[in-house]
Chains A and B, each alone.
Chain A
Amino acid sequence: MSRAKSSSRKTASPPPSPAVATPQSDPSPSLPPAFSNPDTVATYKSLYDILGRAYWEASDVNAKDTIQGARDSIYEILTDLNAAKLEANTALFLALQAKIRDTNKALDEIKEKVNNITKNISTASSVIAAIAKVLSITPALL
């Protein structure tokens, strides 16, 4: 089974945004229900490792190919499972994105207030400069 064949997996629909994003400890709902059981996943991982040891112990090329063929299939299942978990986490990242954006917006407003303090001093400076300019031409008017 290649990832293409297994790519028939459903696309995980983003869950509603939680108050605080919490990563899912279990596989995504986009996978078959059997994979929501951590024991099943652990069994597959264990089988992959056992086949790995068998591969390196085998001395015959054909035996190695057979073992690796089975191992490849398990690899693809576990890869799809990890891709689905990462996809489920993407929804949580999107929820956090909004929170971080809001915080940065609030900080920008504070920055603007700080800039206004400088602007006020600049305005005072401009007023003084304008008065000085008016006074400099006053003698001519007097």
Chain B
Amino acid sequence: MYYRKSWSNLLFVCLLFLLVGCSISPLARNTAAFSSATSLVADNTQNAYRTAVRLNEEAQASLLVARYDTDHPMDPHSIRPLIDEKGLQARTEVLDGLRTYAQTIADLASGVSSPKLDEAAAACGSNLKSLGDALASSTSIGINITSTEANATSTALKALGDFLVNRQVKSSVPKAIQNMDPTVEALSRLLSSDIDILRDQAGRDYEQILAQQDGFIRHAGSSLSASERRAEIQRLPRILASKKATDDMLTELQLSIQKLAVTHHALAVAAASKDSASLQARIADLRASAERLATFYQSLSESSK
């Protein structure tokens, strides 16, 4: 009789676990994947801003050199960043905020307090056993709570905690994602607008650097040795290759950002409807796109070493 009761308790706990586990996993999995992809896109976008600002500074510096010995030299103080500190700060904070948002919904969906909950539930079972022992020794009630029963209590409490957390998450996280959707869409449009400007500017920055390099070679004439001249001329096609690589990178980044908004929208829809098949395809697509860019930045930093 006693064993039958214990087994039925355990079965109940297992069923509760299955119920909790099955209902939370798609949201947890999707938000975790979205968070990881968002983090990559945010990193890539911040790198793109830094790359564009540095490139523009290089273009202005080459203009400074070209005008140095002319009758209208350029004042070095006039070199100003394409995006000022305040502008970069605003963009960084927005991207960090987006990263935090994505991480928080992922944490919530996966049950952020799980380790704490496990700890509390385990302590509760253990304390219950001590209570049984204390009751048995101090009264004539004769309660004996076995280790198995204490463990079952811990498991049941853990399942109950998970259930309550899950209920809280399911009632609030999908709503938060839906409320955030227009903001993510607006942010995507804004970042895309920035990238249009950066692409336009980067193209001319490279053209300026190319022409100044050409002018330098021609004016240097015979003051360069044959091998120096050769090395300087060989820089010209490399500048053009960098121009193309940067433009390709910015185009890919713009696509990633557009995909981010579309994926977030799919996440909002899936969070409400449980239909996440197309969402997973979108997340995989977004992540692949962001990873290609991350590899590109890595190759940039390795080549600059």
Contact = CB atoms under 8 A, between A and B. Distances in A.
B194 A118 contact: no
Interface string A79-119: 10011011101101110110111011011101101110110
B19 interface: no
Interface string B5-45: 00000000000000000000000000000000000000000
Report whether over half of chain A's contact residues are helix, strand or loop; otherwise say mixed. helix
Nearest to A68: B211
Contacts of A122: 116, 120, 123
B74 to A, nearest CB: 5
B157 to A, nearest CB: 6
A3 B80 contact: yes
Nearest to B107: A111
A133 B189 CA distance: 62
A131 B131 CA distance: 7
Given A111-B112, A128-B127, A65 B82 contact: no
Bin the interface of chain A by size. 35 or more
A43 interface: no
Contacts of B100: 104
B94 A86 contact: no
Interface residues of B, number: 82
Interface stretch (B171-179, B248-256, B272-280, B290-298): B171-179
A90 B82 CA distance: 12
Contacts of B146: none
Interface in B211-257: 211-212, 214-215, 218-219
Interface of B: 56, 59-60, 63, 66-67, 74-75, 77-80, 82-84, 86-87, 90-91, 93-94, 97-98, 100-101, 104-105, 107-108, 111-113, 116-117, 120-121, 123-124, 127-128, 130-131, 133-135, 137-139, 157, 160-161, 164-165, 168-169, 172-173, 176, 179-180, 182-183, 185-187, 189-190, 192-194, 197, 200-201, 204, 207-208, 211-212, 214-215, 218-219
Given A52-B211, A132-B127, 5 more contacts: A4-B77, A7-B80, A104-B97, A118-B116, A135-B134
